[in-house]
Amino acid sequence: MQITFLGTGTSHGIPVIACDCETCQSNNPKNKRNRTSIHIKSEKYNLLIDTPPEMRLELVNNNIKKVDAVLMTHAHADHIMGFDDIRALNWYQEKEMPVYADPGTLEHIKRIYPYIFSDNNPGGGVPQVVLKEIEAKFKLQDLNIKAVPIYHGDNLILGYRINNFAYLTDCSKIPEESFELLEGIEYAAVDALRYKEHPTHMSVDQAVDLVNKLGLKHGYLTHMSHRVEHEDLVKYLPDNVSPAFDGLVIEV
């Protein structure tokens, strides 16, 4: 599979509005982070995880034209506010978009975007989506997908295992039961907000511990804040973990 990190920044994006810190003022493109999302391409299928506010720019910048289905992790603004951009994929691909999420997230999508699901929509121009309640385990062509419950503070949201890769963003802790679902993975994208601990996200050290506990060949850190400067983090991390950055493409 080919994985493209479309966005690797926390909810506020980097640079942060009006921030003069070293990371926000850096000229290194790896310190520019849009809101978190990835694209997964296999021989037969193309998945997008989440629809962040910069979804349009992320797909355009990475020349991604094909998305066969969208998986949603949860309904926070930084993961959902690009949902309307699914329209352009409908036009290009001439098909409806299946969107998989847990029941709570599906309810939030309907509440946040009532016009998409209304019969009385004079303007037309709405995304053509088919909302699908996530199953614990399902297959889309050559992708074996498992929904992996993870803690985001006190809330359980969804991570995903896709073949030998797991996407674990907005994660403060993995429940014991979910480790079974992750058995045998080789690579993962792991939430690492900043060096200091945080109630709803893992810190850099906690993310490294998780990579080691899962026995990964390599872990990629994502959902990073401006407290984390790319080159400093590269120096800080062990060999089996690297910071992801917007536009990073890996083969797994």
Interface residue list for Zn ion (CB under 5 A): 11, 16, 19, 21, 24, 76, 78, 170, 226
Q: How far is the CB of 20 from Zn ion (least distance, A)?
A: 7
Q: How far is the CB of 223 from Zn ion (least distance, A)?
A: 6
Residue 215 contacts by C-beta under 8 Å, 6 or more apart in sequence?
A: none
DSSP-derived 3-state class of residue 169: coil
Residue 160 contacts by C-beta under 8 Å, 6 or more apart in sequence?
A: 49, 71, 73, 145, 146, 147, 148, 166, 167
Where in the chain does DSSP place strands (E)?
2-7, 37-41, 46-49, 69-71, 97-101, 129-133, 137-140, 143-152, 155-162, 165-168, 187-191, 218-222, 241-243, 249-251
Dig out the tokens for 215 from the structure.
């026995």
The phi and psi torsions of 61 (rounded to 5 degrees) equal -60, -30
Cα atoms in the Cβ-side hemisphere of radius 13 Å centred on 91: 7
Dig out the tokens for 105 from the structure.
């997230």
Residues found in the chain: 252
Q: How far is the CB of 22 from Zn ion (least distance, A)?
A: 8
The phi and psi torsions of 31 (rounded to 5 degrees) equal -95, 5
DSSP element (H, E) containing 92 = helix 86-93
